[in-house]
């Protein structure tokens, strides 16, 4: 589990995915929920303004490919939000 987290840039089983904007973070959580992922937005005052994030907690049952699929879904949603 820790080896998987390290591949995604974390030193523990918790992987922070910093989004930045509160609305973007909430929107991403909604999209992920509708795709079968339960995530909660972590926003100020829990974290500093401008650093809203998802906090993913890995368990021993997660497979690396499952996390890769989640990462790809997050990237897809964030790319779609970028202005053209």
What pLDDT was estimated at residue 19? Answer: 93
What pLDDT was estimated at residue 5? Answer: 66
What pLDDT was estimated at residue 84? Answer: 62
Separation CA 1–CA 31 (nearest Å) = 25
Separation CA 32–CA 73 (nearest Å) = 8
Separation CA 28–CA 45 (nearest Å) = 19
What pLDDT was estimated at residue 1? Answer: 55
All residue ranges of the chain with pLDDT < 50 are: none
What pLDDT was estimated at residue 28? Answer: 94
Give me 48's structure tokens: 């500093």
């Amino acid at each position: 589990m820790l080896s998987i987290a390290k591949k995604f840039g974390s030193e523990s089983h918790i992987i922070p995915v910093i989004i930045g904007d509160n609305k973007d973070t909430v929107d991403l959580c909604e999209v992920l929920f509708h795709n079968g992922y339960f995530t909660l937005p972590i926003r100020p005052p829990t974290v500093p303004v401008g650093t809203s994030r998802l906090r993913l907690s890995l368990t021993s049952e997660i497979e690396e490919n499952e996390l890769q699929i989640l990462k790809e879904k997050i990237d897809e949603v964030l790319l779609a939000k970028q202005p053209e």
